[in-house]
Amino acid sequence: MDIEDLQTFVAVADSGGISAAARRLGVSKSIVSRRLFRLEAELGIQLLSRTTRGAALTEAGATFRDHAARASAEIDLARETILPDGDLRGRLRVALPLSFGPTHFAPVLAEMALAHPQLHIHTSYSDRFVDLIAEGFDCAIRVGYLPDSNLLARRIGPITGKLVASPAYLAAHGAPETPDGIAAHQALMQGTETWQFLDGEKIVTVQPQGRYKADNATALAAAAVAGLGIAWLPDCITYPFVQSGQLVPIMTRYPPPPAGIYVVRPPGQYPARKVRVLAEMLSASLARNPEIWGLQR
């Protein structure tokens, strides 16, 4: 029984379709189909039920999937163990936020590619919520507050934020002194989100209102610099604007609750070493550049 056939079957089972598994594995759909046919012929039983909407596990396939996943994980671990120390191979697909992925995370991935010339790194930048399993990603870098899910997460560092506005906006409209005062101001938002602030140990939640919205934090920072309103943004976005005086921190007595930076991956018995190495390199980058992330040395 070919290990690639087992790994392909697990990828199809977890992603729910041949197309998604092909993206995850970096091969064509015809190769995925051929491997599945070969595995089912070897076992003499149907593992997947093909439909127009994807591929669903049969009862036998659901049972076999767990055994195949464990076997594949053991082989991957064995391969990592015998590789030269520090050597990474294969392919790494990473989903990153568009807001600051290209500026804050892309240099770390480039550093990783230089250090591991046999590793193929494929990155995708988007502020939408990417389905790692269905879209075939090995991991994602996520910032903020993680929702409950079946994904496995490793926290690589904290991230802080603040409420900011331009000097021109503050001269014309003043600044809110308390969270309740936000209702009197134009808020720059991604959608219909709520904002949270710390009042001592108590978390205060407000529902801001505003006429300008964007699904990208960098775009909201630009709107704040233009004087369109107040914005609740992470320090890694506002840092250069605060340093230059284009934005001013406001309502500093009520900071937002600290959030985190995470590497998340699909569930599995062992995290791939390439994912572990990426997490370690990102953590080291945060430690080297604390001021960019709004952190104290």
This model's pTM is above 0.75 = no
- Rounded to whole angstroms, what are the CA distances from 74 to 2, 78, 142, 258? 14, 6, 28, 37
Give dist(CA 25, CA 116) in Å, integer: 19
Question: What per-residue confidence (pLDDT) applies to 235?
Answer: 87
Of the two residues 177 and 72, the one the predictor is more confident about is: 177
Give dist(CA 33, CA 22) in Å, integer: 9
Sign of the CA dihedral 261, 267, 271, 274?
negative
The band of 22, judged by pLDDT with boundaries at 50, 70 and 90, is confident
- Rounded to whole angstroms, what are the CA distances from 75 to 26, 45, 87, 285? 19, 24, 17, 31
> Which positions ≥6 away from 243 have C-beta within 8 Å?
none
Q: What pLDDT digit, counting tens, does each position of 224-283 carry? A: 999 999 999 988 889 889 999 999 999 999 998 878 899 998 876 566 788 989 999 999
88-100 average pLDDT score? 86
- Rounded to whole angstroms, what are the CA distances from 8 to 34, 46, 255, 270, 280? 10, 15, 47, 17, 28
> Which positions ≥6 away from 7 have C-beta within 8 Å?
25, 68, 72
Query: What letter represents residue 195's amino acid?
Result: W
111-121 average pLDDT score? 91
Please state the separation of Cα 197 from the chain's center in Å: 24
Residues 41/47/50/51 CA torsion (nearest 10 deg) = 160
User: How buried is 172 (Cβ within 10 angstroms: 0-12 exposed, 13-18 middle, 19+ buried)?
Assistant: exposed
Q: What pLDDT digit, counting tens, does each position of 154-204 carry? A: 898 888 889 999 999 999 999 999 999 999 999 999 887 889 999 988 999
In three-state secondary structure terms, 152 is strand
CB atoms within 10 A of CB 179: 19
Between 22-36, 67-81, 111-125, 269-283, the lowest mean confidence (pLDDT) is in 67-81
Looking only at the bridges linking them, the beta strands covering 259-265 and 139-144 are antiparallel
Question: What per-residue confidence (pLDDT) applies to 130?
Answer: 83
Give dist(CA 295, CA 152) in Å, integer: 25
* Rounded percentage of the chain residues whose pLDDT exceeds 70: 92
Residue 292 has pLDDT above 60, yes or no: yes
Residue 149 has pLDDT above 70, yes or no: no
Bridge partners, residue 276, by sequence? none
Residue 19 has pLDDT above 90, yes or no: no
- Helix, strand, coil percentages, rounded to 5, for the chain: 45, 25, 35
Residue 297 has pLDDT above 50, yes or no: no
Q: What is the DSSP string of 212-274?
A: EE-S-HHHHHHHHHTTS-EEEEEHHHHHHHHHHTSSEEE-TTSPPPPEEEEEEE---SS--HH
Residue 17 has pLDDT above 90, yes or no: no
CB atoms within 10 A of CB 15: 25
Residue 218 has pLDDT above 50, yes or no: yes
Highest mean pLDDT out of 22-26, 56-60, 177-181 = 177-181
Question: What per-residue confidence (pLDDT) applies to 148?
Answer: 61
The band of 86, judged by pLDDT with boundaries at 50, 70 and 90, is low
